[in-house]
């Protein structure tokens, strides 16, 4: 596998890492970019002109990762040339399924070619999707030995709309599955947070899918605003600093859920994934050192039991982590590089939700406020 990376800033200046090999013929390009750049046809045409024979997957982000650098208002690309393996791309639009995430996931899974499939990497729109329902649909007809990783597109802290696409101008509602094929592939993955719960545990007494109505028989939004105090006027952005730890009956590990939006009229909160009835909920908070330590834990987990050194690392980290770390945000990427080895290329983006199994498991989960890693080699 060969990898070549580059970036474009908001002013249109391109930067490429290393000298480009004239024999380099990539089959797959990941493009992570600020939403405003992806709305500009000229930007899309520039990328296509560089790699007109490859499949190009576009995703809007809340920050772009190239190497150990985290960029804002930019575009980064990662061009991949497989030597022994190959990829196939499948897509659906959630708008074609009445914004039903479960149905969209089932429809996407039905399109995936399962023969010789080694791994599925998902890029999903992040504005109208219930990430956990999407994963449930994707896994319904997928071999239990095949893992899913990926993430939900972002839109900085605006929460207006997200964009994704393949080989054309990105649009809203797109959900893309990149199937990786071949016996030579080795894919490992991990996730870790570094956030700590605080305050009393409360029970979900009324919810529907990813909509939270009541905690301990009281309006959930009212309780949450009480905890936030003066910051309640900054919702939903303020919720990125105070996500929820959710313990779901039958699941060994708690999940972290970010609040994507609030509905004042119904006094409800819309989360990035399901929050079932009778779950236990606690508020969470973090500091920079805890988040950096979480990134180190994720990197170590992803390297455990690998047979070969990774040739590419795809990082999907949550916008909430980026906001907490602020000017120190690159420290979590640097920690990953130190654990894996400085020669391993790193690409990725800051997201509205991350997809990966827990350590030692194969079933995918939707996470918030975590860093997830997908390490690939041939």
236 pLDDT higher than 90: no
Report pLDDT for 240. 84
Looking up residue 280, the CATH number of its domain turns out to be 2.40.10
Give the pairing type, strands 148-152 and 353-357. antiparallel
Q: Across residues 24-51, what is the average pLDDT?
A: 94
Asked if residue 215 has pLDDT above 80, the reply is: yes
Supply the pLDDT for residue 190.
Answer: 95
| 209 and 172 together in one domain | no
pLDDT score, position 143:
87
Last residue of a domain, one of 237, 252, 284: 284
**pLDDT of amino acid 375:** 98
CA dist 219 and 365 (Å) reads: 27
- The tens digit of pLDDT for each residue in 95-138 reads 999 999 999 999 999 999 999 999 999 999 999 899 999 999 99
List the one residue out of 258, 263, 229, 264 whose CA is nearest residue 245. 258
Q: What is the pLDDT of residue 19?
A: 67
Provide Rg for the chain, Cα atoms.
Answer: 20
More confident position, 18 or 277? 277
Mean pLDDT of the chain: 93
Q: Does 163 lie in the same domain as 52? A: yes
How many domains would you assign to the chain? 2
Prior bond to 236 cis, omega within 30? yes
For residues 105 and 60, the answer to whether their CB atoms sit within 8 Å is no
Considering 284, 303, 320, which residue would you say is the last residue of a domain? Answer: 284
Domain range spanning residue 60?
2-192+289-377
* Domain's final residue, options 255, 284, 313: 284
Domain co-membership, 58 together with 151: yes
Do 20 and 112 fall into the same domain?
yes
Percent of the chain's residues with pLDDT above 70: 99
Q: Are residues 115 and 35 in the same domain?
A: yes
Q: Examine the domain organization and report whether 152 and 76 are in the same domain.
A: yes
Q: Are residues 55 and 164 in the same domain?
A: yes
Say if residue 207 is in the same domain as residue 136: no
- Do residues 371 and 294 make contact, with C-beta atoms less than 8 angstroms apart? yes
* pLDDT number for residue 61: 98
Q: Is the dihedral of CA 257, 310, 144, 93 positive or negative?
A: positive
Digit-coded pLDDT (tens) for 315-364: 999 999 999 999 999 999 999 999 999 999 999 999 999 999 998 888 99
- Check whether residue 143 and residue 232 sit in a common domain: no
**Claim to verify: residue 156 and residue 246 sit in the same structural domain:** no
* 275 plus 249 within the same structural domain: yes
Percentage of the chain with pLDDT > 90?
80
Quick check: 234 pLDDT over 90?
no
């Amino acid at each position: 596998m060969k990898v070549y990376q580059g970036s474009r800033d908001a002013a249109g200046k391109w930067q490429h890492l290393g000298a480009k090999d004239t024999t380099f013929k990539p089959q797959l390009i990941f493009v992570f970019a600020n939403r405003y750049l992806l709305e500009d046809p000229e930007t899309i045409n520039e990328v296509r002109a560089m790699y007109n024979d490859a499949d190009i997957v576009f995703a809007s982000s809340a920050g772009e990762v190239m190497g150990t650098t985290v960029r804002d208002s930019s575009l980064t690309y990662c061009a991949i040339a497989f030597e022994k393996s190959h990829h196939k791309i499948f897509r659906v639009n959630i708008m074609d399924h009445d914004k039903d995430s479960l149905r969209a996931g089932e429809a996407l899974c039905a399109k995936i070619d399962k023969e010789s499939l080694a791994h599925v990497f998902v890029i999903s729109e992040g504005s109208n999707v219930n990430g956990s329902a999407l994963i449930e649909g994707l896994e319904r007809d997928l071999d239990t030995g095949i893992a899913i990783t990926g993430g939900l597109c972002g839109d900085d802290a605006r929460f207006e709309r997200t964009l994704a696409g393949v080989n054309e101008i990105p649009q809203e509602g797109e959900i893309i599955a990149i199937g990786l094929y071949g016996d030579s592939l080795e894919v490992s993955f991990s996730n870790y947070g570094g956030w700590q719960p605080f305050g009393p545990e409360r029970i979900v007494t009324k919810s529907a899918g990813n909509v939270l109505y009541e905690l301990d028989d009281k309006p959930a939004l009212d309780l949450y605003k009480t905890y936030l105090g003066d910051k309640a006027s900054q919702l939903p952005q303020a919720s990125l600093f105070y996500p929820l730890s959710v313990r779901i009956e039958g699941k060994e590990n708690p999940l972290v859920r970010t609040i994507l939006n609030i509905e004042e009229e119904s006094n409800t909160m819309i989360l990035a994934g399901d929050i079932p009835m009778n779950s236990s909920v606690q508020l969470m908070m973090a500091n920079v050192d805890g988040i950096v330590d979480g990134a180190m834990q994720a990197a170590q987990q992803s390297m455990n039991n690998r047979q070969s050194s990774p040739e590419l690392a795809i990082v999907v980290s949550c916008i909430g982590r980026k906001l907490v770390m602020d000017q120190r945000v690159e420290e979590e990427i640097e920690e990953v590089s130190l654990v894996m080895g400085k020669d391993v290329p790193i690409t990725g983006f800051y997201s509205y939700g991350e997809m990966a199994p827990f350590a030692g498991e194969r079933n995918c989960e939707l996470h918030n406020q975590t860093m997830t890693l997908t390490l690939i080699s041939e």
